[in-house]
Amino acid sequence: MKIKTSITLSAEIVYRLDRLVGPGGNRSAVLHERHRRDARDLEILNRESKKLNREAQDVLGYQDG
């Protein structure tokens, strides 16, 4: 189910969105795609978190030495 809503954005954000989508473009599509990309990135980070944490601990070990 979709619900139509309105939000207030700064003029700067609207200007940047308009530059991204071009004339007649769909601002909502850009925002939706960014949300999808962020969700995908979070899923990858969660999946790889143990490996990333081990690498970070390894790097921090060099700083203590």
Whole-structure pTM value: 0.50
45's tokens: 């980070």
Q: What is the DSSP letter of 48?
A: T
| pLDDT single digits (tens) 26-56 | 988 888 888 899 999 999 999 999 999 999 9
Going from N- to C-terminal start, the domains of the chain cover 26-64
